[in-house]
Amino acid sequence: MKNCEYQQIDPRALSVSPLSAQNPAEKKVQRPRRKWEAFPGKNRFFCDGRLILARQNGVLPLTLGLIVVTSGLFFAFDCPFLVEHLTVCIPVIGGVLFLFVVASLLRTSFTDPGILPRATADEAADIERQIDTSGSSTYRPPPRTKEILINQQVVKLKYCFTCKMFRPPRTSHCSLCDNCVERFDHHCPWVGNCVGKRNYRYFYSFIISLSFLTSFIFACVITHITLRSQAKKGIVQAVQESPASVVELVICFFSIWSILGLSGFHTYLVASNLTTNEDIKGSWSGKRGAEESGNPYTYSNIITNCCATLCGPMPPSLIDRRGFLPPDEAIPAAAASEMELPPFTPKSDANMCTQSTKDVLERMLHSSDFHGLCPSGNPKTSPLVQEVSSSAPATAEPSLSSGCSRQLARQAVVDPCPLLTPVAFSKNNRRDSLHSINPAFRLASPSPTLSRRALVLGDGPDIGFIPQH
Amino acid sequence: MAETHSLQDMRQQAAVAAKVFIQRDYSNGTMCQFQTKFPSELETKIDKQQFEETIRTLNNLYAEAEKLGSQSFIEGCLACLTAYTVFLCMETHYEKVLKKIAKYIQEQNDKIYAPRGLLLTDPIERGLRVIEITIYEDRSFSR
């Protein structure tokens, strides 16, 4: 029994005297931490929270590199010839386009796409209370949806188990970044970030300007080679004199197809006020052939749709990265790990996961009556009904085997049983071979009637542990 | 006697009895609007008209922030032309309205809600998901 005990933090006790429970010396020693340091999603922050990026951003350097190298070669090898024979405007235009492309790219990559902060413990409890979950609570509850009417059209809102809230319309949870993103378009690996409400216009200007840049470079290089071969009476000789041009030609040729196609596609999306996500899923199409008929968000006017998407007001970042965490959250003790008062937890996910996993493993190994006490009938490693990212087109499969800190699945479970019930989950439906899951326990401050658990999973050592036997 | 408690005093002395959450109203799309339905927990605490007035004003303010007017259009174009560097010196229209909203909520709290043992939390602190109304236990008022 002792091993099952956990510390319940009464939120009321905390709110009454947030400071008196502290050890003042402890408080003084800790510097005030900013909220980005305790951000629960899988993001990286730079410049003390000013810039945000997805954790897996392997292709962004490649994108930047390709653009810089191609433009560099262009300015170094083609421009001198073209300035001499044509006009000085060419490098000027090229330069402006290049700067615009790089600025848009960096802006897309480092801007918060519209991440929704996770629900506070009280909010989650309130939502739970409103949802009628009947039946036994030893198995995970069925997926929760709520239907609402938007412009006389029925739209289903899904419940996000990670963020513990009903997702607003057009919001989707990105599994790569582990965040709910408003007006989620897709997760772009080239840009190293999700594309959502706040950075869609930068993304769009990036691909449009990039199409112009690649077409421009392509045209100039062709002109260059043509002029040179006319002068020297031979293409081969012209190419030999300027080998860099061939490199540029090849890069531009292959990029143009994809970039122009993407630009065209996104122009269509902007004009009809759709997101990639909705288009891929076919949320609004398939109704009598006219695409706009089903979409409740469209203004039915192309110009208005474009203005709304690209020139609309710029909503602020909701996650307040640079705000300071209140001092009572920076408690290093284990008690803190059981709290979930603010949207952000004080410890980083990696530390949490490792520590709690170790604790649990120790408890498991040393407790003999632990299993007996926990109710049986807890599932199998059945997959969580958690919305795996709907960012189908542009993303790779999320790689799950990257250690403790990357694997988080949280579920609010209604359970009158006061004991901890370890449940093994596999986060991704397609990777059921992940049986070596170490359940760890971290408790939210419970409301009077519910006990909630947050589970942290990790790909730890292969124990093959499946509880509830 | 000492009816006018400051908010800090109240927070430190009083205990939180309950929290009510006003959810978003999506019937007009994704615009930030909150439901004006009067929650039952507040029936004994505050006048329904007053509450609805507060929520309606907030809704209007948010609508103003997100309005697709000429001002936001010009701001957007200017920002695009300057490669978005203009935001380093200037506040966006949305941010200006958010400041207005914060001031309005502060004012409402001071005048109307705090004397009744309630506290409105600015929705921006909750990611514009809910308006959180904290109901404090009514200890110190009954004398």
Complex ipTM: 0.83
The pLDDT assigned to A362 comes to 57
Greater confidence (B71 vs A363) lies with: B71
Chain A, residues 179-198, CB within 8 A of chain B, namely: 182-183
The pLDDT assigned to A69 comes to 92
Distance from CA of B21 to the nearest CA of A (A): 7
CA atoms within 13 A on the CB side of A119: 28
Q: For A385-428, write each residue's pLDDT tens digit.
A: 344 344 434 443 434 344 443 433 344 334 444 443 443 333 44
Of A99, A117, A312, the CB nearest to B127: A117
- Lowest mean pLDDT, pick from A127-136, A204-213, B123-132: A127-136
Q: How many angstroms separate the CA atoms of B54 and A161, rounded?
A: 32
The yes-or-no verdict on residue A331 having pLDDT over 50 is: no
Look at A313 and B79 and tell me if their CB atoms are within 8 Å.
Answer: no
Greater confidence (A55 vs A184) lies with: A184
Q: In 3-state terms, chain A is what percent helix, strand and coil (to 5)?
A: 40, 10, 45
Q: For B4-35, write each residue's pLDDT tens digit.
A: 555 555 555 667 778 888 888 888 888 889 99
The yes-or-no verdict on residue A319 having pLDDT over 60 is: yes
- The verdict on A314 touching B (C-beta cutoff 8 Å) is yes
The pLDDT assigned to A44 comes to 80
Q: Residue range A191-213: average pLDDT?
A: 92
Distance from CA of A3 to the nearest CA of B (A): 31
Distance from CA of B13 to the nearest CA of A (A): 6
DSSP sequence for A65-126: HHHHHHHHHIIIIIHHHHHHHT-THHHHHHHHHHHHHHHHHHHHHHS---EEPPPPHHHHHH
Look at B65 and A313 and tell me if their CB atoms are within 8 Å.
Answer: yes
Q: How many angstroms separate the CA atoms of A373 and A284, rounded?
A: 49
The yes-or-no verdict on residue A3 having pLDDT over 70 is: no
Please list every residue in chain A whose beta carbon sits closer than 8 Å to the beta carbon of residue B93. 313
Task: Give the three-state DSSP class for B119.
Answer: strand
Task: Give the three-state DSSP class for A200.
Answer: helix
Chain A, residues 407-436, CB within 8 A of chain B, namely: none
Look at B95 and A150 and tell me if their CB atoms are within 8 Å.
Answer: no
Determine whether A79 is an active site residue: no
Distance from CA of A290 to the nearest CA of B (A): 20
Q: For A159-201, write each residue's pLDDT tens digit.
A: 888 888 888 888 999 988 888 999 999 998 899 899 999 999 9
Look at B26 and A168 and tell me if their CB atoms are within 8 Å.
Answer: yes
Residue of B nearest to A111 (CA): B84
Pair of tokens at residue A461: 């050592």
Q: How many angstroms separate the CA atoms of A335 and A352, rounded?
A: 12
Catalytic-role residue among A160, A174, A188, A374: A188
Residue of A nearest to B132 (CA): A123
Please list every residue in chain A whose beta carbon sits closer than 8 Å to the beta carbon of residue B130. 123
The yes-or-no verdict on residue A208 having pLDDT over 80 is: yes
Of B28, B68, B79, the CB nearest to A308: B68
Greater confidence (A464 vs B73) lies with: B73
Please list every residue in chain A whose beta carbon sits closer than 8 Å to the beta carbon of residue B65. 313
Q: Residue range A374-385: average pLDDT?
A: 41
Q: Please say whether the beta carbons of A331 and A346 come within 8 A.
A: yes
The pLDDT assigned to A102 comes to 93
CB proximity list for A103: less than 8 A, separation 6 or greater: B83, B84
The yes-or-no verdict on residue A203 having pLDDT over 50 is: yes
Q: For A336-370, write each residue's pLDDT tens digit.
A: 444 444 444 444 444 444 555 555 555 555 555 44
Residue of A nearest to B13 (CA): A16
| Dihedral over Cα of A142, A148, A150, A154: its sign | positive
Q: Residue range A256-277: average pLDDT?
A: 91
% of chain A exceeding 90 in pLDDT? 14
- The verdict on A122 touching B (C-beta cutoff 8 Å) is yes
